[in-house]
Amino acid sequence: MQPVVPNRLPLTDEELRRYARHLLLSEVGREGQERLKAAKVLLVGAGGLGSPVALYLTAAGVGTIGMVDFDVVDFSNLQRQLLHFTSDVGKPKLQSAGEKLAAINPGVRFVPHPVRLGASNALEILGGYDVVVDGTDNFPTRYLVNDACALLRRPNVYGSIYRFEGMASVFAPHLGGPCYRCWYPEPPPPGAVPGCAEAGVLGVLCGVIGSIQATEAIKLILGQGKPLLDRLLRFNALAMSFREHRIPHDPNCPLCGRNPTITELKEIIMSCSPDDISVEQLKTMRERKEDFVLVDVRDPDEFAINEITGSVKLPLTELPQRFGELPKDKLVVLHCKAGGRSARALKFLREQGYTRLKNLAGGMDAWEKRFGH
């Protein structure tokens, strides 16, 4: 296969020494190392998978490494996210990452993107790179990265981890493989996946899967070997087994099929809580004229800016006095601007004995983004 990075950058004497063990490999050699130096790789996520990928790609001499992450280092990250040390707790992950990577290889340019990846910025950010490595832990970002990569014709080196099992693949329709949507056309319905933060994971699993992702990124840059295109590699740490599954390209894929229905990036808002419903679900419930009460818990001055027609206006601050106005025998759907206050309202109402409650994930912002009014 062709190297995905066509250009090369000359090596300095110091680099010739640093990469001596690469230069001894005919599959890398001086030419390959120069390609690595010219390569730009974006890592989405500076966590469990992003850590080993960043460490190895930096050591390997990938010239530019971008990282997208807006999180700060938490104590519970240290069990698996090797980029971050105990002294980094509370620091932005990208700051912590930048410091470590510069110490490993000062010749590598580190580009931090301290933003939440969304439909509005993904094409611009991903478009500046040759290869994208997906180290995200949530479905909305995974679909966003997949869609953006397919639209931009960038290979997407996928990895995921759950408990004792990890998976890796390369999604690249433009190189003859499938995309993630060929495998799973749509994100799972809300409530069908465990809450975002509650799944356990064996820390060292990140090292296994992240190293596979780093290997695949390097192979793609060099144009060497056989990439994990249309193959899914499954690793089980307990059984210590690797299995390979074929993921065929789906000619009816909504993204990379013959008649694609997805031709631009859309925000995918998915909940982690079984209490949540998506804006799409709410719209369907309204169209079917289902029997429920929609409650807007924003402040009165926000009601004036926009509203979902037909919602009962009951600001969160007034809820303790006025919750009696809401029926207990009907489904109550709560919403606010982004979903935070309505989640608090839901918790409060549950404590008052309400059992039929839902929270609109993403709130008014998501509704407007999706339906424009």
Q: What is the largest CA-CA distance in the chain?
A: 77
Q: What is the residue-wise DSSP string for 19-71?
A: THHHHTSTTTHHHHHHHHHH-EEEEE-SSTTHHHHHHHHHHHT-SEEEEE---
Task: Write down the least CB distance from residue 183 to Zn ion, Å.
Answer: 8
Stretch that binds Zn ion, among 74-82, 93-101, 155-163, 251-259 (CB under 5 A): 251-259
The C-alpha atoms of residue 316 and residue 346 are separated, in whole angstroms, by 10
Q: Determine the distance from the C-alpha atom of residue 189 to the mean position of all C-alpha atoms in its chain, rounded to a whole number.
A: 17
Q: Which of 205, 256, 336, 346 binds Zn ion (CB under 5 A)?
A: 256
Residue 174 beta carbon to Zn ion: minimum distance, rounded to whole angstroms: 11
User: Which one, 110 or 183, has the nearer CB to Zn ion?
Assistant: 183
Choose the binding region for Zn ion from 207-215, 217-225, 250-258, 264-272 (rule: CB under 5 A): 250-258
Of the two residues 250 and 307, which places its CB atom closer to Zn ion in the complex? 250
Residue at shortest CB range from Zn ion: 253
Q: Which stretch binds Zn ion (CB under 5 A): 91-99, 106-114, 176-184, 204-212?
A: 176-184
Nearer to Zn ion, 253 or 269 (CB): 253
CA–CA dist 145, 122 (Å, integer): 7
Stretch that binds Zn ion, among 43-51, 173-181, 198-206, 261-269 (CB under 5 A): 173-181
Handedness of CA 22, 209, 270, 323 (dihedral sign): negative
At residue 159, the 3 state secondary structure works out as strand
**331-335 sheet: strands from edge to edge:** 276-277, 357-360, 331-335, 292-296, 312-313
Catalytic residues: 196, 336
182 contributes a contact to Zn ion by CB under 5 A: yes
Residue 286: φ, ψ to 5°: -70, -40
Rounded to a whole number of angstroms, the minimum distance from the CB of residue 254 to Zn ion is: 7
Q: Which of 36, 122, 229, 253 binds Zn ion (CB under 5 A)?
A: 253
Instruction: Select 256 or 357, whichever has its Cβ closest to Zn ion.
Output: 256
Q: Which of 42, 57, 179, 343 binds Zn ion (CB under 5 A)?
A: 179
- 3-state DSSP helix/strand/coil percent for the chain, to nearest 5? 35, 20, 45
Residue 5: both structure tokens together: 């990075």
Q: What minimum distance in Å lies between the beta carbon of 123 and Zn ion?
A: 17
Q: How far is the CB of 179 from Zn ion (least distance, A)?
A: 3
The partner residues of 158 in beta bridges, in order of sequence, read: 134, 169
Contact characters 10-49, Zn ion, x per CB under 5 A: ----------------------------------------
Applying CB under 5 A, the residues found at the interface with Zn ion are 179, 181-182, 253, 255-256
